[in-house]
């Protein structure tokens, strides 16, 4: 009998862990697993207890990341890490992040129950503080473990308690000097590959009618965070169109032009999303009978291609200059805040696609710890799981059937790992 027929995902184990996580960390309608707080720690305690029961080796590093390891034949060989985060946003859902850690634990349980001994160690990593909702720092656990965090982040205060990250780490019994000294808790050359399962945080898989997808890459971001348009305040009935310096009309024209750029790039096959999540006038100056003299707005450009982001940013600047002349206003888009895209490993992607009955690939618009590992040159791959109602809200609705498809795919990958 093929070993893949023997090593099977256990839905009862997964359901029991998800139920336990929800019971321990639900506050009102939503889930609260606060970074370096009681909720996140409760999740770590649950997963560690389950890992010990399975027979895995458990360890916690200096900044609180939990590692649960199934030993391999060659313990000195670079290991495979299956990881994701266990924190949540305030009033989040039960599956964002946690699904990846639970999938890893279920996969190792299945391998161990089936008597499969891997060639190298396989570890499941419960990563700390991926969400930026609590400290306004993303990837504290993964970037911190790889020595990538700016030590200045230790002075960032937690949104609800006001305690700095440094004070919070110390209070939890962890070692902030690890971040201050940029120490490597994980050496990149000690990792054979990084794998992450995660719920999809948009509607694509629901609309496609598919349970899972392979992630091509994690979009980078080029964001005009403090864009501004300055015109002139005037009476709405007294100034004819040729004499107006209407900041709202000009900004709308700019955003309309960028929509046309998006449609053009999309038609050409480029990966791109554009968003203006903030667009407002000065509440102390605006009025129903006034032409608005100033707007402030954000233009958020995301793609798996740096080239695409640079092209679109340049077009935004050119359009702002041209539309500014046409509308007799001035735009100041300001500088961009940038994060690079992270492409997933092509060989791993191809292997996972070959394991799916209905292969489908898509980019991730949200950030994930996989981006940190990939940017360090570690071969990385992600599997998305269908999820109703988006994420970062209490109504996440992943089914165990879809979760099972993803986890069984992970098991098959681990049994016949390509690299």
Query: Residue 3 — very low, low, confident or very high, per pLDDT cuts 50/70/90?
Result: low
Tell me, letter by letter, the H, E, C secondary structure of the chain.
Answer: CCHHHHCCCCHHHHHHHHHHHHHHHEECCEECCCCCCHHHHHHHHHHHHHHHHHCCEEEECCCCCEEEEECCCECCCCEEEEEEECCCCCCECCCCCHHHHHHHHHHHHHHHHCCCCCCECEEEEEECCCCCCCCCCCCHHHHHHCCCCCHHHHHCECCCCCCEHHHHHHHCCCCCHHHHCCCCCCCHHHEEEEEEEEECCCCHHHHHCCCEEEEEEECEEEEEEEEEEECCCEECCCCCHHHCCCHHHHHHHHHHHHHHHHHHHHHCCCCCEEECCCEEECCCCCCCCEECCEEEEEEEEEECCHHHHHHHHHHHHHHHHHHHHHHCCEEECCCEEEECCEECCHHHHHHHHHHCCCCCEEEECCCCHHHHHHHCCCCEEEEEECCECCCCCCCCECCHHHHHHHHHHHHHHHHCCCC
In this structure, the answer to whether residues 10 and 93 fall within a common structural domain is yes
> Is residue 335 pLDDT above 80, yes or no?
yes
In this structure, the answer to whether residues 244 and 215 fall within a common structural domain is no
Give me the residues paired with residue 126 across strands. Answer: 66, 84
Over residues 98-107, the pLDDT tens digits come to 999 999 999 9
In this structure, the answer to whether residues 16 and 53 fall within a common structural domain is yes
Domain boundary residue, one of 339, 363, 387: 339
Query: Residue 73 — very low, low, confident or very high, per pLDDT cuts 50/70/90?
Result: very high
Q: Give the mean model confidence (pLDDT) for residues 12-20.
A: 98
* pTM of the full structure: 0.90
In this structure, the answer to whether residues 208 and 295 fall within a common structural domain is no
Query: Residue 138 — very low, low, confident or very high, per pLDDT cuts 50/70/90?
Result: confident
Helix axes 346-355, 400-415, angle to 10 degrees: 120
> Is residue 394 pLDDT above 80, yes or no?
yes
**Cα–Cα dist 373/4, whole Å:** 28
Query: Residue 2 — very low, low, confident or very high, per pLDDT cuts 50/70/90?
Result: low
Query: Which pLDDT does position 6 carry in this prediction?
Result: 78
| CATH number for the domain that contains residue 257 | 3.30.70.360
Q: Give the mean model confidence (pLDDT) for residues 301-307.
A: 96
Number of domains into which the chain is organized: 2
In this structure, the answer to whether residues 279 and 133 fall within a common structural domain is no
Please say whether the dihedral angle defined by the alpha carbons of residues 201, 205, 211 and 213, taken in this order, is positive or negative: negative
Query: Which pLDDT does position 402 carry in this prediction?
Result: 98
Backbone angles phi, psi at 189, to 5 degrees: -75, -5
Asked if 194 and 283 touch (Cβ cutoff 8 Å), the reply is: no
Cα 370 from chain centre: 8
> Is residue 313 pLDDT above 70, yes or no?
yes
Averaged pLDDT of the chain: 96
Query: What domain range includes position 172?
Result: 3-219+341-415
Domain boundary residue, one of 285, 317, 339: 339
Higher pLDDT, 2 or 405: 405
In this structure, the answer to whether residues 259 and 211 fall within a common structural domain is no
In this structure, the answer to whether residues 150 and 51 fall within a common structural domain is yes
Over residues 267-277, the pLDDT tens digits come to 999 999 999 99
Domain boundary residue, one of 321, 339, 357: 339
Closest CA to 80 of 90, 95, 70, 94: 70
Query: Which pLDDT does position 418 carry in this prediction?
Result: 87
Over residues 198-242, the pLDDT tens digits come to 999 999 999 999 999 999 999 999 999 999 999 999 999 999 999
In this structure, the answer to whether residues 253 and 375 fall within a common structural domain is no
Over residues 25-65, the pLDDT tens digits come to 999 999 999 999 999 999 999 999 999 999 999 999 999 99
In this structure, the answer to whether residues 214 and 224 fall within a common structural domain is no
In this structure, the answer to whether residues 307 and 334 fall within a common structural domain is yes
> Is residue 97 pLDDT above 50, yes or no?
yes
> Is residue 4 pLDDT above 70, yes or no?
no
Backbone angles phi, psi at 77, to 5 degrees: -75, 155
Q: Give the mean model confidence (pLDDT) for residues 355-367.
A: 95
Query: Which pLDDT does position 1 carry in this prediction?
Result: 46
In this structure, the answer to whether residues 196 and 227 fall within a common structural domain is no
In this structure, the answer to whether residues 331 and 399 fall within a common structural domain is no
> Is residue 339 pLDDT above 50, yes or no?
yes
């Amino acid at each position: 009998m093929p070993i893949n027929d023997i090593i099977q995902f256990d839905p009862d184990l997964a359901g029991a862990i998800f139920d336990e996580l929800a019971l321990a960390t639900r506050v009102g309608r939503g889930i609260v697993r606060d970074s370096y707080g009681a909720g996140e720690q409760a999740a770590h305690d649950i997963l560690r207890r389950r890992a010990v029961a399975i027979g895995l080796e458990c360890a916690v590093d200096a900044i609180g990341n939990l590692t649960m390891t199934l030993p391999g034949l060659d313990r000195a060989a670079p290991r495979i890490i299956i990881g994701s985060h266990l924190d949540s946003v305030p009033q989040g859902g039960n599956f964002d992040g946690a699904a990846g850690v639970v999938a890893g634990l279920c996969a190792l349980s299945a391998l161990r129950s089936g008597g499969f001994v891997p060639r190298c160690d396989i570890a499941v990593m419960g990563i700390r503080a991926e969400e930026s909702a609590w400290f306004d720092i993303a990837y504290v656990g993964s970037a911190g473990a790889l020595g990538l965090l700016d030590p200045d982040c230790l002075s960032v205060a937690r949104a609800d308690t006001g305690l700095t990250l440094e004070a919070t780490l110390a209070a939890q019994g962890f070692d902030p000097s690890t971040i201050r000294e940029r120490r490597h808790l994980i050496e990149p050359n000690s990792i054979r590959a990084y794998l992450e399962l995660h719920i999809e945080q948009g509607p694509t898989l629901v609309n496609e009618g598919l349970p899972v997808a392979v992630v091509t890459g994690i979009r980078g971001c080029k964001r005009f965070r403090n864009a501004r348009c300055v015109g002139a305040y005037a009476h709405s009935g007294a100034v004819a169109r040729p004499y107006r310096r209407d900041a709202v009309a000009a900004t709308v024209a700019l955003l309309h032009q960028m929509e046309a750029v998006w449609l053009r790039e999309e038609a050409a096959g480029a990966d791109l999303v554009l968003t203006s999540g903030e667009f407002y006038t000065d509440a102390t100056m605006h009025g129903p009978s006034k032409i608005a003299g100033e707007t402030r707005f954000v233009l958020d450009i995301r793609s798996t291609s740096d080239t695409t982001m640079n092209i679109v940013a340049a077009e935004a600047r050119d359009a702002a200059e041209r539309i500014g002349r046409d509308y007799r206003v001035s735009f100041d888009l300001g500088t961009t805040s940038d994060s690079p895209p992270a492409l997933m490993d092509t060989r791993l992607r191809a292997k996972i696609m070959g394991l799916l009955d209905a292969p489908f690939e898509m980019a991730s618009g949200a950030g994930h710890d996989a981006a940190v590992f990939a940017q360090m040159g570690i071969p990385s791959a992600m599997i998305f799981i269908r999820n109703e109602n988006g994420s970062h809200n209490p109504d996440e609705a992943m089914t165990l059937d879809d979760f099972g498809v993803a986890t069984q795919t992970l098991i098959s990958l681990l049994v016949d790992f390509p690299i």
